[in-house]
């Protein structure tokens, strides 16, 4: 096609695919180009603006490492990661939510009722619940990969003073799908702002904060893996998560418990003298 115009460029693009092109690849790429072309027409994008966009991508590429992926962060703050989560979640199952960049593979196994906080100080929180199917039946022996920030607002991979496995643990629920562990409250924190994503947030007048949360990846044979987070109902950033990860069903409550009432049977039993908080949260998994 030698007479390409602003109105025909998307169709011309689609006509360049070969007949052997994978149909799903063609569908996705043709739609992507259509929307990108429409975006350029709609805003009347200038050369200068497009160059700035490309420079931001180049910067993102330069600072991306195995530990810090600026493209994933861009997808997160643009709402793309959350939108992909939402349109792929199963009705009735616990919502999925962003994985984030701070998950560490091969977390150490953690016994039922074990403690995640180690030597860190803070108000003790007991988190417990059940993993169930969509009919409410227990899923025996589901595996829960759990991680969170330390009280200083840093994940282990961001903090040279923490062991890489601090605040990371892998728990197997019992035959009734019951899981339980103790920890300290995670805190609200900011996404990294020293790259192009920080500049974009800044230019948009947006803050970089996420509400505090506990991360979970839950796996069980025959069920879809669930990557999610749970958020306390009293967090000031609950309604303005900069990566759009909060869903109504992922909100939990810290229920305050008086001193002297911490139960037996936990790794911390006998050591919790002051008040503590309890969180009850059940997860529902969809079948594959
Ligand atoms: C997190 O939850 O750890 C996270 C998620 C998205 C971007 C940055 C951090
Ligand atoms: Fe997080």
What is the residue-wise DSSP string for 34-67? HHHHHHHHHHT--HHHHHHHHHHHHHHHHH--SS
Model's pTM, two decimal places? 0.92
Residue of the nearest CA to atom 7 in ligand 1? 100
Residue of the nearest CA to atom 3 in ligand 1? 100
Ligand 1 in contact with 243 (CB < 6 A)?
A: yes
Ligand 1 in contact with 74 (CB < 6 A)?
A: no
3-state DSSP call for residue 25?
A: helix
Ligand 1 in contact with 76 (CB < 6 A)?
A: yes
Ligand 1 nearest-atom number relative to CA 213:
2
pLDDT digits (tens, 9 = 90+) for 101-140: 888 889 999 999 999 999 999 899 999 999 999 999 999 9
For ligand 2, the distance from its centroid to the CA atom of residue 233, given in whole angstroms, is: 16
Ligand 1 in contact with 73 (CB < 6 A)?
A: yes
* The CA-based dihedral angle spanning residues 106, 112, 116, 121, taken in that order and rounded to the nearest 10 degrees: -170
Burial of 44-70, coded b for 16+ CB within 10 Å and e otherwise, reads eeeeeeeeeeeebeeebeeeeeeebeb
Least confident residue range of 1-5, 144-148, 217-221: 1-5
Q: Per DSSP, which regions of the chain are E strands?
A: 109-110, 114-115, 124-133, 143-147, 168-172, 178-184, 189-190, 209-210, 214-219, 226-232, 251-252, 255-257, 276-280, 283-285
Ligand 1 nearest-atom number relative to CA 192:
8
pLDDT digits (tens, 9 = 90+) for 156-192: 888 888 888 899 999 999 999 999 999 999 999 999 9
Task: Tell me yes or no: is domain 75-284 CATH 2.60.130.10.
Answer: yes
Residue of the nearest CA to atom 2 in ligand 1? 100
Residue of the nearest CA to atom 4 in ligand 1? 100
pLDDT digits (tens, 9 = 90+) for 222-235: 999 999 999 999 99
For ligand 2, the distance from its centroid to the CA atom of residue 245, given in whole angstroms, is: 10
% of the chain beyond a pLDDT of 90? 88
Residues in a beta bridge with 114: 181
pLDDT digits (tens, 9 = 90+) for 92-106: 999 999 998 888 889
For ligand 2, the distance from its centroid to the CA atom of residue 246, given in whole angstroms, is: 12
The answer to whether residue 1 scores a pLDDT higher than 80 is no
The answer to whether residue 59 scores a pLDDT higher than 90 is yes
Ligand 1 in contact with 235 (CB < 6 A)?
A: no
Least confident residue range of 6-15, 26-35, 156-165, 209-218: 156-165
Average model confidence (pLDDT) across the chain: 95
Domain segments of the chain as ranges: 1-45, 75-284
Residues in a beta bridge with 228: 216
pLDDT digits (tens, 9 = 90+) for 257-284: 999 999 999 999 999 999 999 999 999 9
Residue 10 confidence (pLDDT): 95
Q: pLDDT band at 3, cuts 50/70/90?
A: confident
% of the chain beyond a pLDDT of 70? 100
**Best residue for ligand 1 mutational test, from 75, 84, 243 (most atoms within 8 Å of Cβ):** 243
Residue of the nearest CA to atom 9 in ligand 1? 100
For ligand 2, the distance from its centroid to the CA atom of residue 10, given in whole angstroms, is: 39
């Amino acid at each position: 096609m030698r007479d390409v115009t602003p109105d025909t460029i998307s169709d011309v693009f689609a006509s360049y695919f070969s007949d052997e092109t994978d149909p799903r690849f063609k569908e996705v790429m043709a739609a992507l180009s259509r929307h990108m072309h429409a975006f350029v027409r709609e805003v009347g994008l200038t050369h200068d603006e497009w160059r700035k966009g490309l420079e931001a991508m180049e910067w993102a590429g330069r600072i991306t490492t195995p530990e810090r992926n600026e493209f994933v962060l861009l997808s997160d703050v643009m709402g793309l990661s959350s939108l992909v989560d939402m349109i792929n979640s199963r009705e009735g199952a616990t919502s999925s939510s962003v994985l984030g960049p701070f998950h560490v593979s091969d977390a150490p196994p953690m016994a039922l009722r074990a403690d995640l906080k180690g030597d860190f100080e803070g108000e003790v929180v007991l988190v417990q619940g059940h993993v169930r199917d969509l009919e409410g039946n227990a899923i025996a022996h589901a595996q829960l990969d759990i991680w969170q920030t330390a009280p200083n607002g840093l994940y282990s991979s961001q903090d040279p003073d923490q062991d890489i496995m601090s605040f990371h643990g892998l728990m197997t629920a019992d035959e009734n799908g019951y899981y339980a562990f103790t920890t300290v409250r995670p805190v609200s924190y900011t996404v990294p702002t020293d790259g192009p994503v920080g500049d974009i947030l800044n230019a948009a007048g947006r803050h970089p904060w996420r509400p505090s949360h506990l991360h979970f990846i839950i796996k069980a044979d025959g069920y879809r893996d669930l990557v999610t987070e749970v958020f306390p109902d009293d967090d000031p950033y609950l309604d303005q998560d900069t990566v759009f990860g909060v869903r109504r069903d992922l909100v939990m409550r810290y229920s305050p418990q008086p001193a002297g009432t911490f139960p037996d049977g936990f790794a911390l039993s006998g050591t919790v003298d002051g008040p503590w908080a309890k969180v009850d949260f059940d997860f529902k998994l969809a079948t594959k």
